[in-house]
Structure 1
Amino acid sequence: MGRAQRPGRLRTLGRLTAATALAVAALTGYTITAGPAQAASQGPCDIYASAGTPCVAAHSTTRALYASYSGNLYQVRRASDNTTLNIGVTSAGGYANAAAQDSFCAGTSCVITEIYDQSGRGNNLTDAPAGGAQPGPDKLAVANAAPTTLDGHEAYGVAIIPGTGYRDDATNGIATGDNPESEYAVLDGQDYNGGCCFDYGNAETNNNDDGNGTMEAIYFGNIKVWGYGAGNGPWIMADMENGLYSGANAGYNANDPTTNYRYTTAMVEGGANQWDILGGNAQSGTLATDYSGTRPNVSGYNPMHKQGAIILGIGGDNSDGVDGTFYEGVMTTGYASASTEAAVQANIVAAGYGAGGTTGGGGGTTGEIHATASGRCLDDPNASTTGGTRVQIYDCWGGANQTWTHTSSGQLTVTDSGTTDCLDAYGNGTTNGTKVDIWPCNGQANQQWNINSNGTITGAQSGLCLDVEGGATANGTLIQLYTCWGGTNQQWSLS
């Protein structure tokens, strides 16, 4: 989208009129499975290839998207010495080797420098250069800011915050002009905002707004400047440049529902004067068709003028004011059938996102949060209900002001005198030393927290660790955000 746009995140699916994918029940539990993952018998790109619509780009930081893929998924760079490490899979067709990242990044911080294309076409994503809307290059995602699990195996997504984005302007095989393509992405359906533009898909090759129809990307978010759907959002829409579309007309489409599954499947398909949006729960069930019909009834979209670059977390002109989390996604050549998209959805569900382990979306856990170094509890001082009150550590005594609930949306809530507030990164801060306070819950990313298997609690927006200031252990020591470095003052347990 262009500079004036403020779209949200797009989730689009293919031409699905009667999805027939098998519903796969989401697994439960809280134990990280040791040992290598077993190879999949089929990946999403095997399904697309067998249907004659092969992947021409396949990106994931969590798993292999082909049953035979044994290469690298992504690369990380650590701050301590600027060295890099490629993160591969534990076995062909398997899950990301997250343990390698944990070891490499221990005691320092890491960013994701490159996301490799598994299709063999070399369409790798790196930090986005300057564009018409924003100077660049963009920032890189903090490598441990979006922890997740797949069938109990630890992995990390790509946490996009404002100013972060990835791109490839010199691609191979991506659809151009009015040629057909299909796109899907697995996203965190509870990490979004109303900025421009959390996109994944086809964009301009010169990083500028080149007019109507020069893009075709999945968008996800809750902006209403262009198109929007039912409820308060977020919605899956298509970013076709100079418009986020939920249907044939600019503006409202009652059939495009609010979609906020913790793990959300979003798909967009497009061909000659025909396109579709589909979406669903990436943990269970089948796809729904949110739109299927002709191109927007505004000049410039029929025929399309796609240019074939690939973007992640930004708009076509490098508009980068968004929040979102990406786990996997592909682009194909050709318009996938309903049965193909149904099979892909079943494959995503079978991957077991969020099953086992402890992640930001686990939710439902209530108790005290103990600081490992001191044994004291995370405490809302004097059971305050005043927004902006900084939290501290204090002797555990079982009071409501020390009882925290990790919700399904990743919030840490505390209820005092009948008022429920959220643990909050003050002022949406994302730098070392940001104060941690209580604030009325508002659904923003600075109130979402990942409780990780390594004992840290990280901000979903910043990727920084919940940190006891100065490593002190006394009652009343305040809490801040700080770069994760492995110290005991950043270790916590939720009982």
Structure 2
Amino acid sequence: MIRTPRLAPRLRRAAVAMTAAAVVLGPAAVASASHLEVPKAGTNDFRGVNWADPRDNYASDAVVPSGLSTADSYRTVYAKARDITKGFERNLGANTLRLPVNPASVGTAWWDSYRGAIDAATDRGDKVILSYWEADTSKDGKVDDTAAWNTMWDTVVEAYEGNPRVYFEPMNEPHGYTLAQWVSVTSGWLARHADVPRGRVVISGTGYNDDVTGVGGTAALDGTLLSLHFYGFWGSATTEAEWVANLEPRIGAYSGRTIIDEAGSPMTTGLNYGAHDGNTSTAYFAATTDIARARHMGIVYWPGLRTGDSYSIESLTTSGKLIDNNASGVAQLRWGWGYGTHEPVNDLPAAPPGGPVTNVAAGRCLDVPGFATTPGTALDLWECNGGGNQAFDVTAAGELRIYGGSCVQPVAGTAGSAAEIRPCDGSAAQHWQVQESGAIASVGYPGLCLETVGGGTGNGTAVEVGTCDGRSGQSWSTS
């Protein structure tokens, strides 16, 4: 997926697609995701990201995801991919990685190394979708060389058909084929690789993966998963209702089999994805995530990491760590994946170490919203849920260390300063003393205690430090 060479053709077809999808829904229809039909089954166990080549995945030579190098050995790729996959899991709650393959990358010296990325992800328990991308010299939406394509898939399938966490997508965006031609191509793939369970084969929708109703309604492809691509730059609508009307006809009755394995929006431009209507990108992303959540559909975000791409939801630091590019975008993606605003990441242990810090007056717990790991995330109160985002260790040094590794500290040493999470650094500002009265007093800022703002007791009440005076909002239980 790119937004430069491929933008023009996509925009041209977008006008047609918008017209074809002119289903009118009133504003009330999208007031929440609850109006959408919820199927009994779905694909929402695919909570994923694309890890892409900085040049995009269209390449005549080897595809090399951002942060990797063809000079890397298997061991080096494995180590890098382990850390990056862990970052996707920790920062986003992701459990799926979509990776590109092409004949120049498979059965080669780079393949021997590249397999480290697949192995590292699956060894961590994640799913991996391997998708064929045509060369940048073609981009006609067809398999470049059928013999080379078959040889490539023979090698890939032989290596991974025995790994139940690996899924196979015969081709990305087959826009050069008619439906009948595409069914013929994919039926041939299924026959050639009949030992692969159909539930591990992902058949792309027609066009630019933009409609699954044709492949979904084809009996020859029964039992396979389907993939859909959907982007906000395809149109200019600024309301969620318009984008819902655009997207729903592309899915039809096949949401139970469909993974939206490319969807993305600008994440480095400061957009507020908490505000839906009024902006094309935020309205589009709200519609995509609301529909995915309501219909129990998986989303594999484009891209989780691609250097130089403004849509990339994560950036790679010089130390090899991932950081979020847009907190509101992360929150909206997690919503689409089925997480609640204050729910812990499902992939983390259900019974994390540490325990709750409960505000006695409120009967609610000190909480890191959304299990955020971003430094500077402000704490609040929330209904006690036993999740990792409410599990604090009181260390021997007096730190309040949240499960995941951050520590609680005030923004500043003045009354009214918010309490937030920061990387644990051993500073006095992160040291607290739990007193017999139930107060949690700052060691670094004497005379200040952890409290709820205004003595509030409701969900979402902010937490700060205030002058220690025994008021009810300063009484906590750490047992």
Shorter chain as denominator, the TM-score bin is under 0.3
> Which structure is larger by alpha-carbon Rg, 1 or 2?
2
Q: Which has the higher contact order (CA 8 A, sep 6+)?
A: 1
Structure with more helix by fraction: 2
TM-score (norm 1): 0.25
TM-score (norm 2): 0.25
